[in-house]
Structure 1
Amino acid sequence: MNATELRAQFPILDQEVNGHPLVYLDSAATSHKPVQVIEAVSDYYRRYNSNVHRGVHTLGNYATEGYEGAREKVRRFINAKSTKEIIFTRGTTTALNTVASSYARTVCREGDEIVITPMEHHSNLIPWQQVAKATGATLKYIPLQEDGTISIEDARKTITPNTKIVSMVYVSNVLGTINPIKEITSIAHENGAVMVVDGAQSTPHLKVDMQDIDCDFYAFSGHKMCAPTGIGVLYGKQHLLEQMEPIEFGGEMIDFVDLQESTWKELPWKFEGGTPLIAGAVGLGAAIDFLAEIGLENILKHEQELATYALEKLNTIEGFTSFGPAKRSGVITFNLDTVHPHDVATVLDSQGIAIRAGHHCAQPLMKWLNVTATARASFYLYNTEEDADKLVAGLIKAKEYFGHVYG
């Protein structure tokens, strides 16, 4: 199935914005949802809307089957050993904060080290700042190479026997850098550290295998991979999750409650307090089916080919500067002469082209790039060469417009 055929399965793309056919190039922020996912969520609400686990009636059983069935789909999708290692969360941010609050704060002490990189999304930076402040641990950074990659040699120098946590983005949301996560995980383990991976930008595009990577925690969001917003996953090795305490308390996660003491359910439910994200989980399961049928390898190949195609044309525009390595995901982050990225995005939006502009929740990386903000176009499985051509034409028009205004 080619991109044009895939595009037809996304109803939102069949519309005009400001009098132009929509060209959506902001999938790194959130992806659109195919008919299969929309129908799966609608079917839940139409036919078997009910709470899970607690009841014995028919609708409750259907809802529980859908919810736990989605957990098994996630387990297979990332090749976890057990569904006990799959915790449903609100998204990557919640998952990473759970690890920082429930695990890191209990194991880190003064003199310990937490190692991350300057390319991290704020969601994988601020939680570690807070852990360091609370425990006295030192926050260290693996330096970046000139092209926005990290070297194994620098990783070996930065990660030491004092390192307790290494946390790193698999794929940068700004640079498109694909980090050598498996190798970094091995270095972390050699030094006795636990490896945490931010998989928000990798899981929608790369085939990930927890047994192969061998990381200890892995977090991702559904909304970036064709699933609904508000659903995400924390994968954790079972022995680590078992030693962690829940950070939300209430219904669903308890086993026994007395007036003075309470005990928790077993994994994974002890981390899923309250009514869980049932419709979101059902939608995530449908999205996994959809992506698995297409093949993650095919998705990544398509995105990278589009990014290469677009960059070849974009680099001919005078004043165009892109950021990131030659080998990247389907993300192109750039600036255009002295035109502010927000102005670039506004002109493109007037032509029906949606991109992202700003600091992309990565202000330390913006400082490293020596810019205050950038524009970003991100391709996904439903984008075409025609979309890339319209981006190029739109930027040429933006350059001409601001050249006239400022000229």
Structure 2
Amino acid sequence: MTILTPTSNTGAANAGLPDEALLNRMASEFFALVPGAAQAAAQFLPGFSEAGSAPVASVSAPGRLSSVSESGNHSGSNAGAALTQPSTQPSIYASAIPQNGGSSVAPSRPQAGGAPLSTPAASTTPYYFIGADNGYPVADGNLDGLAAQGTGRQADQTLARSFGLPGQDQLQQLLGELYPANTQAAPAAGADADARPAYYFQQGEQDYWDTAPRAANPALAAPFDINAVRRDFPILAERVNGKQLVWFDNAATTQKPQSVIDRLSYFYEHENSNIHRAAHELAARATDAYEGARSKVAKFLGAASVDEIIFVRGATEAINLVANTFGKKFIGAVDEIIVSQLEHHANIVPWQQLAAEKGAVIRVIPVDDSGQIILDEYRKLLNSKTRLVAVTQVSNALGTITPVQEIIALAHSAGARVLIDGAQAVSHLRVNVQALDADFYVFSGHKVFGPTGIGVVYGKKALLDQLPPWQGGGNMIADVTFERTQYQPAPARFEAGTGNIADAVGLGAAIDYVERLGLENIALYEHALLEYATHGLKSIPGVRLIGTAHEKASVASFVLEGYQTEEVGKALNEEGIAVRSGHHCAQPILRRFGVEATVRPSFAFYNTCEEIDRLLAVVRRLANQKRN
């Protein structure tokens, strides 16, 4: 990389040296916009520290302060925004800890019109590694606009300070370390996509600027405060192989906000008890919390009644429950079950087992070359023998959003029932089971920022009332003698034994969090992330995207020519980037596209374009190495 040095205009004595005022301004912008710059600077700039003379405290919850570590392991920092968070910036999680009997105190909601969920104090500076008493001059007023661009804040909410530069040699050493010759810096957020970089530390090789993603940076237009959101997820401050974690494995499991972690802790500290069958106070608290979570799920899904919500371990158990109740009662020999090529193994294997036991037949809806269900072929499969249609709403392997409303309506016109696998949908899309007219809808809590080991079956009450239990034991009985057993009505009939009480409560807290952000806001932002990543991946020679349906959730499966998927996954992991590499428990759909495995980055609302840039840089480097 060629370094272009602005020369001083202060006289011959300083000829060849940088102009200090210009470099002060450039460096302030640089450290605000470039991920990891402060950590790198601390390695060889005398007296420089990431957070000034003392660690800066960050707020993750009321009364919960954490200090920025010397290693730069700060809480939930946005890759392209401020490097640490001052105590004046609250998270969007105000408090979700019950104050009595299992009821939650709701945090403050976002303002109308898409206003940020948290507003920093007017004295906040985006350059937190600069102390107020460091002796460096205050930068000119125009830097307020640069700070606002880099952090997503209003210009009048910032007080920018210049960096206070070392000599020219040290600066060039710093920039050479951060941007070696074979690495290209991404364009500054909000910059004109077609413009050449203005500053020498942004000048990369021509091919980067010819092929860089042209999508606008959604972090600057997010309908919520992305920095506040990231601070709510403590694991995002984790470091992997010395790099700040980038979590792009959200389709496998999502990370948990502090409010969910605290809610689980509160349950075990103050409410832990079995439910329903005791007269003491803790049993009442636990029951209230558990049934309160059921009410939240019912509202979240748009169910007509809390009696239509059954807690299970996850979507896999949920599908098995339907197969072993509805399937065994209503599906017999020569009856037909329809699934699609897109299905996760969990929505294939239980129906295969049922078909083998009953002598039923499985029919498969094909998909087109983009990965979308072919509705005309689906219509041809429906007939008087069709008893059940079981399809995903969002493909875990491709991200395809299927036309479930049309699928359900067509099935009902043929007299069939429908199960929708919503495991990949509920964290991305607003779901209303009554509007869809789904007979069954299932999902897993850990896919929607809740705990593992908890999931949900929604079933229409009139249908659930016809179904036999599938497990026997406590909680699901009304009366037992040695001659007979009388069962409870739904949903208790399907919840034998001691359930996962704490994690059901944690799921309720996760739903609270998602609802505060707003699923519409989440969908808008994640779509922008997907567009940005898709454009970037398509620009890299040798990359083949698997799944290009027009309607997609934030999954970007791909393969890279010349590499096994595990090689790409390993290279990304070395840079702290977590993706899924493999068949994703969806082998039939991958084989439809002639592959056995893909690399699958999948995005959530706490991800950023800067993180995507890190992934693209690794994939581009691998592609270039193979070409060379």
TM-score normalized by the length of structure 2: 0.63
Alignment map for 1:359-398 (pairs within 5 Å):
359-398=583-622
Select which of 308, 333, 337 maps to 1:110: 333
Which whole-Å deviations, capped at 9, do the CAs of 1:257-279 have from their partners, x for residues lacking one?
11232111121111111111111
1:67 corresponds to? 290
Whether the 8 Å CA contact 1:4–1:384 is kept in 2: the answer is: no
1:349 corresponds to? 573
SS in 2 for 1:115: strand
1:10 corresponds to? 233
Whether the 8 Å CA contact 1:320–1:336 is kept in 2: the answer is: yes
Question: Following TM superposition, by how much is the alpha carbon of 1:338 offset from its aligned partner in structure 2, in angstroms?
Answer: 2.2
SS in 2 for 1:331: coil
Greater mean deviation of Cα atoms: 258-267 or 125-134: 258-267
Amino acid corresponding to residue 318 of structure 1 in structure 2: P
2:170 corresponds to? none
Whether the 8 Å CA contact 1:264–1:270 is kept in 2: the answer is: yes
More RCO (CA 8 Å, sep 6+): 1
The answer to whether the aligner puts 1:163 opposite 2:411 as a matched pair is no
SS in 1 for 2:465: helix
2:59 corresponds to? none
Q: Matched residues in 1 for 2:227 and 2:594: separation?
A: 38
Which whole-Å deviations, capped at 9, do the CAs of 1:79-138 have from their partners, x for residues lacking one?
101111000000000000000111112211222110010110000000111111111111
Select which of 266, 272, 287 maps to 1:43: 266
Alignment map for 1:13-162 (pairs within 5 Å):
13-162=236-385
Q: Matched residues in 1 for 2:451 and 2:261: separation?
A: 8
Alignment map for 1:215-364 (pairs within 5 Å):
215-324=438-547, 325-364=549-588
SS in 2 for 1:168: strand
Whether the 8 Å CA contact 1:348–1:398 is kept in 2: the answer is: no
Question: Following TM superposition, by how much is the alpha carbon of 1:179 offset from its aligned partner in structure 2, in angstroms?
Answer: 0.5
Q: Matched residues in 2 for 1:3 and 1:153: separation?
A: 42
Q: Matched residues in 1 for 2:424 and 2:416: separation?
A: 23
Amino acid corresponding to residue 38 of structure 1 in structure 2: I
Question: Following TM superposition, by how much is the alpha carbon of 1:4 offset from its aligned partner in structure 2, in angstroms?
Answer: 2.5
Q: Matched residues in 1 for 2:573 and 2:622: separation?
A: 11
Greater mean deviation of Cα atoms: 96-105 or 65-74: 96-105
Whether the 8 Å CA contact 1:37–1:283 is kept in 2: the answer is: yes
Which whole-Å deviations, capped at 9, do the CAs of 1:340-371 have from their partners, x for residues lacking one?
11111011000000000000001111211111
Q: Matched residues in 1 for 2:624 and 2:540: separation?
A: 11
Whether the 8 Å CA contact 1:48–1:59 is kept in 2: the answer is: yes
Q: Matched residues in 2 for 1:367 and 1:15: separation?
A: 35
Which whole-Å deviations, capped at 9, do the CAs of 1:257-307 have from their partners, x for residues lacking one?
112321111211111111111111110110111001111111111111101
The answer to whether the aligner puts 1:207 opposite 2:430 as a matched pair is yes
SS in 2 for 1:252: coil
Amino acid corresponding to residue 605 of structure 2 in structure 1: L
Amino acid corresponding to residue 278 of structure 2 in structure 1: G
Question: Following TM superposition, by how much is the alpha carbon of 1:189 offset from its aligned partner in structure 2, in angstroms?
Answer: 0.3
Amino acid corresponding to residue 540 of structure 2 in structure 1: I
Amino acid corresponding to residue 368 of structure 1 in structure 2: R
Q: Matched residues in 2 for 1:161 and 1:180: separation?
A: 22
Q: Matched residues in 1 for 2:551 and 2:337: separation?
A: 28
Question: Who wins on radius of gyration, i.e. which is larger?
Answer: 2
Which whole-Å deviations, capped at 9, do the CAs of 1:181-227 have from their partners, x for residues lacking one?
01110000000000000000001111000110001000000001010
Unpaired runs of 5+ in structure 1? none
Amino acid corresponding to residue 155 of structure 1 in structure 2: Y
SS in 2 for 1:276: coil
Which whole-Å deviations, capped at 9, do the CAs of 1:234-263 have from their partners, x for residues lacking one?
000111111111111111111111123211
Which whole-Å deviations, capped at 9, do the CAs of 1:304-348 have from their partners, x for residues lacking one?
110111111111111000011143110000000020111110110
Which whole-Å deviations, capped at 9, do the CAs of 1:158-201 have from their partners, x for residues lacking one?
11222100000000001111001011100000000000000000
Amino acid corresponding to residue 225 of structure 1 in structure 2: V
SS in 2 for 1:327: coil
Number of residues of Structure 1 aligned to a counterpart in Structure 2: 404
Amino acid corresponding to residue 168 of structure 1 in structure 2: V
Whether the 8 Å CA contact 1:219–1:233 is kept in 2: the answer is: yes
Question: Following TM superposition, by how much is the alpha carbon of 1:400 offset from its aligned partner in structure 2, in angstroms?
Answer: 4.2
Question: Following TM superposition, by how much is the alpha carbon of 1:397 offset from its aligned partner in structure 2, in angstroms?
Answer: 2.6
Whether the 8 Å CA contact 1:105–1:134 is kept in 2: the answer is: no
Whether the 8 Å CA contact 1:100–1:128 is kept in 2: the answer is: yes
Q: Matched residues in 2 for 1:310 and 1:108: separation?
A: 44
Amino acid corresponding to residue 545 of structure 2 in structure 1: S
Higher strand share: 1
SS in 2 for 1:7: helix
Q: Matched residues in 2 for 1:133 and 1:338: separation?
A: 41
Q: Matched residues in 1 for 2:485 and 2:585: separation?
A: 39
Runs of 4+ in 1 over 6 A off after TM superposition: none
Higher helix share: 1
SS in 2 for 1:332: coil
Greater mean deviation of Cα atoms: 297-306 or 163-172: 297-306
Q: Matched residues in 2 for 1:155 and 1:345: separation?
A: 36
SS in 2 for 1:165: strand
Q: Matched residues in 2 for 1:3 and 1:323: separation?
A: 29
